[in-house]
Each structure stands twice: as structure tokens, then as C-alpha cells.
């Protein structure tokens, strides 16, 4: 038996397609032991239809906390996926300190005023090498900020298949070392299989880098609908085992413990 968690779930509180309750039976059917809700939150980009209004955050946290009390079929965790903006660390910290979460996912969606995942137009006419450099610098800053427990889809810049002209391996090595130094986990995010690049985040070629640097891992679906909870997890765990991983990060009250993949 593999102890599976899925901590990256989006519901109708942000851009998900269903209410939180609808994800529970799907998670149970997928063999998930713990499901975690982590709504999108962006404090510095207004009028984005894919994020939760910060004013609704207290209601969201209360809702999930109440759902925890009612559930006897699965363990439920409360989280948020927060956009990281360099230079805004203090404001993000002040906001997040208002909530008792089980974990915080830090993600980089924006380079400047534009999000990297809302269309290939963002990449047209730009220097892809420079975009990769900037993106990984942002992610390393997020990992080093002390704000987050998990870094989400750490190479989202790959989403539309644009590739740098040289081996990106050094970016992953530097990032992994920053994550290890700051005690932050990475996620193997399976939702990339539903995006144009049709692959996981991070690039499977570099999973061994995170293992060599001893960075904790968790597997997340980044599901926006119940049917995608736990999607592609069999392949994901297989890749991790091949790379040498044997345990996963589990969070409660922002305290992490390591759980063996396979329970005897």
C-alpha cells in the first residue's frame, strides 16, 4: 500500500470547477489518504479571475476547517497556494500569519506584469534563456524567503514547450540547494500532463538532482476538477522510486514529517 497525499487542489473558492465536498469521494476512490485544499492567492495582482479574493480567505479557511471535522473517510488539510513577488515578502508574511494552515505552497506565476501560464504569447519575441534565468531566480527567492513549506510547479516556465539554448541542469541544481538549505519541499506536480508540454513539473530528467540534494518531495495533482485528483500518481511514484526517493513529506500545522512511500 502506498500512502498517497494530494495537497494541491483548487475548488470554486478560486478557479476550481467544484465545491470542496465534491473532491472527497474522488480522492477516496483514487486511494488518497490525505487531501489538501490550496486555493490560489495573489495579493498584488487584482481582478484576476483565477485567484481567490484575499477578502474571502478567512471564509475559505473556516470552511475547510469545518469540513475537516465532518470527514471520517479521509484526512483533510488546509493550505494556500500563494503567488510570490520579490520585494513583497513582508506583506505576504503579514497576510499569511493571520491563518493557521497545515502548509503553504509558494509559486511563481508572474514575471513582471504577466503570468507565464496564460498563453504562449508571453514567450513570443522574447529571449528564452533570459526568461529561464529570471524565472529560476524568482523561484529561488521564494524558496529562500522562509514563507513557504512547499514550492509549487518549480519550472512552470516549461509549460508551452519553449526551451533554453543550453542545458538547464545548473538551474535545477542551484534551486535544489536553496530548497535544502531553507528546509523547503518540492512537489512533483502531475497537472503538467494536461498542459501543452504534456509532462510533470519538475522536468523528470532532473528528479535525481533533488534526490541528491536531499530535498523532500510530495506528489500533487494540482486538480481543478474532481476527476483529476490523484491523476497520473502511479507514474509519478514510479519516477520518484527510480530516482531514488523512498519517502514523502506530510504536513500538519506547518510541521513536516517524512512518510515511507510504502506502508507494510
Which residue in this structure is represented by grid cell 474522488? Answer: 26
Architecture of domain 4-260: Alpha-Beta Barrel (3.20)
What residues contact residue 92 under an 8 Å CB cut-off, 6+ apart?
43, 82, 84, 85, 145, 147
pLDDT in tens, the chain (264 residues): 789 999 999 999 999 999 999 999 999 999 999 999 999 999 987 667 778 999 999 999 999 999 999 999 999 999 999 999 999 999 999 999 999 999 999 999 999 989 999 899 999 999 999 999 999 999 999 999 999 999 999 999 999 999 999 999 999 999 999 999 999 999 999 999 999 999 999 999 999 999 999 999 999 999 999 999 999 999 999 999 999 999 999 999 999 999 998 754
Strand bridging mode 247-252 / 185-189:
unpaired
| Predicted pLDDT of residue 263 | 55
pLDDT digits (tens, 9 = 90+) for 46-101: 667 778 999 999 999 999 999 999 999 999 999 999 999 999 999 999 999 999 99
Output the pTM of the full model. Answer: 0.97
Predicted confidence at residue 21, as pLDDT, reads: 97
CA distance 155 to 164: 12
Buried b (16+ CB within 10 A) or exposed e, 44-55: eeeebeebbeee
pLDDT computed for residue 264 by the predictor: 42
CA distance 120 to 160: 6
Phi and psi based region of residue 110 (left: phi greater than 0; alpha: psi -120 to 50; beta: remaining): beta
pLDDT value at residue 97: 98
Answer for the pair 207, 188: CB distance below 8 angstroms, yes or no. Answer: yes
- The pLDDT, as a whole number, for residue 256 is 99
Element (H, E) at 222: none
Helix (H), strand (E) at residue 129: helix 128-143
What does the radius of gyration of the chain's CA atoms come to, in whole angstroms? 17
Domain boundaries, the chain: 4-260
Q: Is the sign of the CA dihedral 132, 205, 27, 29 positive or negative?
A: positive
User: What is the per-residue pLDDT for 46?
Assistant: 65
Nearest to 62 by CA among 46, 33, 39, 89: 39
What is the structure's pLDDT at 261? 87
Amino acid at each position: 500500500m502506498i500512502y498517497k497525499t494530494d495537497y494541491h487542489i483548487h475548488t470554486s473558492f478560486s478557479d476550481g470547477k467544484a465545491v470542496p465536498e465534491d473532491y472527497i469521494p474522488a480522492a477516496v476512490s483514487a486511494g488518497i489518504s490525505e487531501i489538501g485544499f490550496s486555493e490560489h492567492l495573489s495579493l498584488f495582482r487584482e481582478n484576476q479571475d483565477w485567484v481567490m479574493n484575499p477578502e474571502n480567505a478567512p471564509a475559505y479557511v473556516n470552511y475547510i476547517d469545518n469540513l475537516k471535522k465532518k470527514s471520517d473517510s479521509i484526512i483533510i488539510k488546509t493550505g494556500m497556494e500563494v503567488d510570490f513577488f520579490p520585494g513583497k515578502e513582508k506583506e505576504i508574511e503579514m497576510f499569511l500569519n493571520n491563518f493557521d494552515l497545515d502548509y503553504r505552497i509558494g509559486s511563481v506565476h508572474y514575471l513582471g506584469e504577466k503570468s507565464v501560464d496564460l498563453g504562449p504569447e508571453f514567450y513570443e519575441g522574447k529571449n528564452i534563456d533570459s526568461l529561464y534565468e529570471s524565472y529560476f531566480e524568482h523561484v529561488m527567492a521564494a524558496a529562500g524567503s522562509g514563507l513557504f513549506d512547499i514550492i509549487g510547479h518549480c519550472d512552470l516556465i516549461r509549460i508551452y514547450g519553449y526551451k533554453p539554448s543550453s542545458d538547464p541542469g545548473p538551474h535545477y541544481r542551484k534551486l535544489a540547494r536553496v530548497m535544502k538549505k531553507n528546509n523547503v519541499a518540492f512537489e512533483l506536480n502531475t497537472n503538467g500532463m494536461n498542459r501543452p508540454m504534456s509532462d510533470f513539473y519538475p522536468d523528470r530528467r532532473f528528479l535525481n538532482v533533488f534526490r541528491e540534494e536531499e530535498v523532500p518531495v510530495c506528489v500533487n495533482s494540482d486538480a481543478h476538477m474532481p476527476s483529476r485528483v490523484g491523476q497520473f500518481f502511479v507514474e509519478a511514484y514510479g519516477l520518484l522510486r527510480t530516482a531514488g526517493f523512498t519517502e514523502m513529506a506530510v504536513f500538519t500545522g506547518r510541521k513536516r514529517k517524512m512518510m515511507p512511500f510504502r506502508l507494510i
